[in-house]
Structure 1
Amino acid sequence: MKNTISERIADFLKNYPPFNAMEPKQLEQLALEVTIIHKETNTVVFSQNESPHSHFYVVNKGAVSLSKAGSSQILDICDEGDVFGLRPLLANESYKLEAKAYEETILYAIPISDFKPLALENKRIGNFLIESFASNTGNPYSIKHRGKLYGESGDSNQYSSDKILDLQPIKYSTDLITCKKGTKIKTVADKMTKHNISCILVMKDELPVGIITDKDLRKKVATGLFPITATAKSIMTSPLITYPKGLTLAQSQMAMMKSDISHLVLTEDGTSDTKAVGILSKHDIMVAVGNNPAVLLRAIKRATKYKRLRNIRHGIMNLLRGYLEQNIPLGLVAKIISELNDASTKQVIKIALSKMETEPPVPFTWLSMGSQGRGEQLLNTDQDNAIIFADVPKEQLEGTQNYFLTLGERISKGLNTIGFEYCPADMMASNPAWCHSLSEWKKVTRHWIHNPGPDEILLSSIFFDYNVTFGEKSLADELSQDIFDSVQGYPQFFTHLASGALQNPSPSGFFRDFLVEQDGEHKDFFDLKLRVLMPIIDAARVLILSHSIKSINNTAERYEKLAELEPNNKELYLACSYASKALLKFRTRQGLLHNDSGRFIALDKLNKEEKIKLKRTFKTVKEIQSLLEIRFQVKNLLR
């Protein structure tokens, strides 16, 4: 007789992470061990400092609040499908919060003894638990637990740039078109034409025994050696040279060169005794080689037209998609894509300079600002840039600035042509406000620092995240030093900068619901950039500047440096570093999926796992903003 209760439990759990990563039979087996618990409103599930139970919990119906013992402030609310009470079991420690039924609630109690073996053997479950521990933790990105599960240590250095460049897995076609040994050649040719393919597998008893390619049709049929009425067996290449799936780019190239063939047949175990799973062609390898960052970099440097650069940037986006699919660490991905973005910008500048009527009258520097300046521009987002040019006599200033404004306009147009949108706020070198001599820039930045109104705070925030993409680095270095000298002489600026960092709206409401846009073009969408990313980015900027560190612009790296400088806040800073990369990765995935900047998220398009991971970062945002408010006494500024 079927256990209908356990079946209902399994049907419910399969919709939520991490249970959605389990095989059906595993989930059915686990469901047999689940206990159903009913809790009236305000009854305790577990108390703070209580020893961990032998099971953790999933909310089936109702809601559970998490709070500090004796406090009326609710820190979190778990609703349908949420997991809680797991972290203490994994960390072997007491509960850090009190869990209480917020309303009448039904819970599923999952025995850890039955769940643990499944999690250890299932990588997806392990990754979910590592990335988003159960709700009763103040810091889901705790360095204490990050990268390990049940004492298992992960290899954070499993990827190197060499692996990315040469040993990346290669995509192959899994849409196999086949025929039998007795199929007529004319039928084979018609089939290949219909499906627009360059080869066809010859099968016997569902196993591959030969292959026919375009080359075989040209050499053996078109030349008259065999009539079109002959069979596939007469012209097929056999025995087959087969390989296992999961070949790397380097292995695929070596295999084709070794056997002088243009197609590789991939089988389940690499032999012809198992079913074919795919075919890899020379074209597939050419596409993969074209998406190699070293090849893309060489192509960028050879490009002499904007349209050519635009085509290359399609390859960069394909490269980015591949890296995300391979789950390569985002820090490494960001460095590679940033290098390619900088190279693309530099080549646009060179092309623009070649079209100017005269050489630049004085040395200049092109600054990339915003996400590109921080090394975080993975998608084709809008431009933020500026020009610094060397000082000239007063009578030459207007003519010199006009030259660089013209250059800035041509560069911005070129960047737009290759895929970077114009800045909606016009923070570009084609705007006189963002194209100055070194002395003028010093005056402008000093004004921002000593007169920190809302506009000045916004402008300085943009400007502090810059990177020298082209030209005389010494101009930028001198300006940086002047900025830091001015800031040190006016420490109140940090309070204003911190205040600006706290102006972004909260990501969630009281009941953990996402706060979405109330009107306008993006009504009912969640603003990922403004509500979550910018608070973390802004906090990193003001904190690193307060330590007079001017050589680190990347948000994650800023937090990692802060963790070194302030060991007492190490846990929070590393949590922020992790969260910044997780959010950037999330935004990039959304942007690639919807072919946009990934800023505005349609919540109804997210699954439960995505929503949970996104919500985990909200706590980190609140904690880092609380630190800013206390350290820089922002409330005193508002009085």
Structure 2
Amino acid sequence: MKNTISHRVADFLKNFPPFSFLKQKDIEILSEQISIIYKEKDAIIFAENDEVHNSFYVVHKGAVALKRSPKNSILDICDEGDIFGLRPLLANENYIMEARAHEETILYAIPIAVFKPYALENRAVGNFLIESYASNTLNPYSDIHRGKLYGDTVENEVLNTEVKLLDLQPVKYSKKIITCGPLTTAKEIAGIMTRKNVGAILVVEEKLPIGIITDKDLRNKIVTGDYPITTAANVIMTSPVITYPKKMTITQAQMAMMKSNISYLCLTKDGTINTKAVGILSKHDVMVALGNNPAVLIKALKRVKKIKEIKPIRTQTMQLLQGYLDQNIPMTLISKIITELNDACIKQVIEMSLAKMVTPPPVKFGWLALGSQGRSEQLLHTDQDNAIVYEDVPEELKISTNEYFLKLATYVNKGLFDIGYDYCPAEMMASNPKWCLSLEEWKKQVYHWITNPGKTEVLLSFIFFDYSLSYGSSEITNELSDYIFENIKANPVFYIHLVSGTLQSPSPTGFFRQFLLEQDGEHKDFFDIKRRALMPLTDAARVLILSHSVKSISNTAERFEKLAELEPTNKELYLSCSYSFKALLKFRTKQGLLHNDSGQFIALESLSKMEKIKLKRTFKTIKELQELISVRFNASNIL
């Protein structure tokens, strides 16, 4: 009879290194010798300077904190699938750190004597253990791992939207190479090119490229009568063929074609004629790629004459976004570029809507982007959140002025809908009279929210900490911002309610760190990555940055990076939060593009084991961050 427990252990271990490097049979044999250990929260597994155990450990459920004196600071937190306590396997010395259950935890204890032969015989196992032991960390937010979530390269914060993205973008090339031999006739070549619908054919000998023939060659050499149609390829081909490595950027390809005055490049394994061809790159491929870059899209937006012409440009923006994600371009840079393109679309819609109005605006006004667009975090096609604030006017002009801006807002909201922004279900749009007010009216509204801080009022006030000016007068919006901050300082009770709202954000995980799924409704059994992962970080960043009276930064990741500067003692946590947020935003964006939706609700069964683990690692910071806020603002007296 099979040992059911050991088989369950084996099924778990096979998904994680170094056990994934072993044969299934070996994993099953090993699992029969493994002990299962339960630890309550804060229970010590081993202490600093303890004599080594006869096992090392794998976290099955829960989490384990690794700490070290003198400050007893957390060096790392190990969660599902992580290994720790390798010292007895690789060094005959006492433990140099403490391992303590960070929450209720189940461990697998792997006997050293049983496992050691596998480590000695299997090089991949041995190398993994040595690397893990040497780094002393599996924390994706530690210095050596930072920025590697979801394959991210380390993000250089010096990068900005002025970076020449064409130098970063690899060009897409055709992998379907059409070839012929050196003795193939021109007539046969013309037939092949016609059937395959290609403009060039590669001449190969012993699988290596020796020349190329294009439709231009056939026109200039055969159609003109200079050579008969029976002429062999090696006579009319361009040789030697110009080759490059397949990892070319758009700029490099463009420069190469201009330099040699050619329309096709042959891409080989090592970039020389001495290795097999892997692709053909045409001038058309380069032009298509050039058409999908921000500068070209911005120019195209400025040329449109009708709002409906903006929609295909928005589609190209989504293609650009997908390309950036595929190329692993840093999330900070992606957000800035897509936000600039979104802003350009909104500005164009507003200007075209103004052109529909019989008269120009009677007074200065500001069109405000709210929510994720206001924070420069709206990467996908989601619904629109916006508002209008306009200059105060005399009593006798109030009605006509408001009617003007409501009519303008109706045009703009309709235009935004036409180019892909859904209407806000809560009608939080400028065409709603509640969101189209004069400066004085907005001040009265905000004052009401701040001095009557119920749940609804707090949620509505959040909007005006995150907005950005899409179009119009910055003087008006700046005056409104100043007013908001002054009133918050004068009403500290409101700030307490902000803190309370932040701490009530739903947790992403529950018992044994399992994902908390929606319990009912349309998205039952789905994971809400917006409400349970992104919003807790967004809300916390807002509260903390407001406590420092910083009002010039609305982006969540940038807020955490500023907090890291302002509070050096919490620098590591805040930077972890910044990277967590960007990783989660990237994950949501990828899911949204994959399923052609907002990416908010995720079917967990569609995720790989590794994707789930990486998601959970980003959740660690949420709990630590909320604990920091709770202690700092004495939340026990609030909730």
Q: What TM bracket, shorter-length normalisation?
A: 0.7 to 0.9
Q: Verify the 8 A CA contact 2:244 2:265 in the aligned structure 1.
A: yes
CA separation in 1, counterparts of 2:505 and 2:461? Answer: 16
Residue 427 of structure 2 is matched in structure 1 by 426
Q: Verify the 8 A CA contact 1:176 1:201 in the aligned structure 2.
A: yes
Residue 254 of structure 1 is matched in structure 2 by 255
Q: Which amino acid aligns with 1:536?
A: L
Residue 515 of structure 2 is matched in structure 1 by 514
By how many angstroms is 1:436 displaced?
A: 0.4
Change (3 A) 1:202 1:13: farther
Q: Verify the 8 A CA contact 1:56 1:111 in the aligned structure 2.
A: no
CA separation in 2, counterparts of 1:289 and 1:617? Answer: 35
Match of residue 102, structure 1, among 97, 101, 106: 106
State yes or no: 1:38 paired with 2:16.
no
Aligned counterparts, 1:197-596, within 5 A: 197-226=198-227, 230-596=231-597
Q: Which amino acid aligns with 2:97?
A: S
SS at match of 2:545: helix
CA separation in 2, counterparts of 1:604 and 1:615? Answer: 15
Q: Which amino acid aligns with 1:49?
A: E
Change (3 A) 1:445 1:193: farther
Residue 604 of structure 1 is matched in structure 2 by 605
Per-residue CA distance 1:139-159 (angstroms, 9 max, x = gap): x5245863699xxx9784696
SS at match of 1:265: strand
Q: Which amino acid aligns with 2:198?
A: I
Change (3 A) 1:631 1:315: same
SS at match of 1:583: helix
SS at match of 1:488: helix
Residue 49 of structure 1 is matched in structure 2 by 48
By how many angstroms is 1:86 displaced?
A: 7.6
CA separation in 2, counterparts of 1:120 and 1:304? Answer: 62
Per-residue CA distance 1:470-528 (angstroms, 9 max, x = gap): 10100001000111111111011111112222233221111211111122221221100
SS at match of 1:273: coil
CA separation in 1, counterparts of 2:19 and 2:352? Answer: 54
Q: Verify the 8 A CA contact 2:350 2:412 in the aligned structure 1.
A: yes
Per-residue CA distance 1:193-234 (angstroms, 9 max, x = gap): 443332222221111122222323333444455555554444
Residue identity over aligned pairs, in percent, reads 56
Q: Verify the 8 A CA contact 2:390 2:438 in the aligned structure 1.
A: yes
Q: Which amino acid aligns with 2:376?
A: G
CA separation in 2, counterparts of 1:189 and 1:13? Answer: 58
Residue 64 of structure 2 is matched in structure 1 by 66
CA separation in 1, counterparts of 2:227 and 2:85? Answer: 69
CA separation in 2, counterparts of 1:58 and 1:637? Answer: 39
CA separation in 2, counterparts of 1:120 and 1:613? Answer: 20
By how many angstroms is 1:263 displaced?
A: 0.5
CA separation in 2, counterparts of 1:87 and 1:553? Answer: 44
By how many angstroms is 1:185 displaced?
A: 4.1
Q: Verify the 8 A CA contact 1:165 1:294 in the aligned structure 2.
A: no
CA separation in 2, counterparts of 1:343 and 1:76? Answer: 43
CA separation in 2, counterparts of 1:559 and 1:200? Answer: 54
Change (3 A) 1:55 1:312: farther
By how many angstroms is 1:575 displaced?
A: 1.6
Q: Verify the 8 A CA contact 1:556 1:581 in the aligned structure 2.
A: yes
CA separation in 1, counterparts of 2:637 and 2:405? Answer: 43
Q: Which amino acid aligns with 1:400?
A: T
Q: Which amino acid aligns with 2:454?
A: G
Q: Which amino acid aligns with 2:363?
A: V
Residue 146 of structure 1 is matched in structure 2 by 146
Residue 84 of structure 1 is matched in structure 2 by 83
CA separation in 1, counterparts of 2:616 and 2:84? Answer: 17
Q: Which amino acid aligns with 2:279?
A: G
Change (3 A) 1:252 1:14: farther
Q: Which amino acid aligns with 1:532?
A: A
Per-residue CA distance 1:546-597 (angstroms, 9 max, x = gap): 2211111011111122222223322222221121111111111211222221
CA separation in 1, counterparts of 2:561 and 2:199? Answer: 51
Residue 173 of structure 2 is matched in structure 1 by 172
Residue 73 of structure 2 is matched in structure 1 by none
Residue 628 of structure 1 is matched in structure 2 by 629
CA separation in 2, counterparts of 1:207 and 1:53? Answer: 59
SS at match of 2:511: coil
Q: Verify the 8 A CA contact 1:379 1:597 in the aligned structure 2.
A: yes
Q: Verify the 8 A CA contact 2:506 2:532 in the aligned structure 1.
A: yes
CA separation in 2, counterparts of 1:514 and 1:68? Answer: 24
CA separation in 2, counterparts of 1:380 and 1:93? Answer: 51
CA separation in 1, counterparts of 2:393 and 2:628? Answer: 45
By how many angstroms is 1:264 displaced?
A: 0.3
Q: Verify the 8 A CA contact 1:373 1:466 in the aligned structure 2.
A: yes
Q: Verify the 8 A CA contact 1:383 1:422 in the aligned structure 2.
A: yes
By how many angstroms is 1:115 displaced?
A: 6.3
Change (3 A) 1:142 1:473: same
Q: Which amino acid aligns with 2:497?
A: H
Per-residue CA distance 1:377-433 (angstroms, 9 max, x = gap): 222222111111111112211211111111111111222222222212111111111
Give the aligned CA root-mean-square deviation in angstroms. 3.9
Gaps of 5+ in 2: 1-8, 68-75
CA separation in 1, counterparts of 2:341 and 2:522? Answer: 32
By how many angstroms is 1:279 displaced?
A: 1.1
Per-residue CA distance 1:55-87 (angstroms, 9 max, x = gap): 96556xx65763799xxxxx99955xx123289
Compare 99-108 and 324-333 and name the one that shifted more. 99-108
SS at match of 1:414: helix
Q: Which amino acid aligns with 2:146?
A: R
By how many angstroms is 1:40 displaced?
A: 4.0
Gaps of 5+ in 1: 1-8, 70-74
By how many angstroms is 1:442 displaced?
A: 0.3
CA separation in 2, counterparts of 1:619 and 1:334? Answer: 24
By how many angstroms is 1:268 displaced?
A: 1.5
How many residues were matched structurally? 600
Q: Verify the 8 A CA contact 1:17 1:608 in the aligned structure 2.
A: no
By how many angstroms is 1:121 displaced?
A: 13
Per-residue CA distance 1:27-77 (angstroms, 9 max, x = gap): 78xx99x97751144499951435788996556xx65763799xxxxx999
Change (3 A) 1:65 1:436: closer
Residue 5 of structure 2 is matched in structure 1 by none
Q: Verify the 8 A CA contact 2:66 2:77 in the aligned structure 1.
A: no
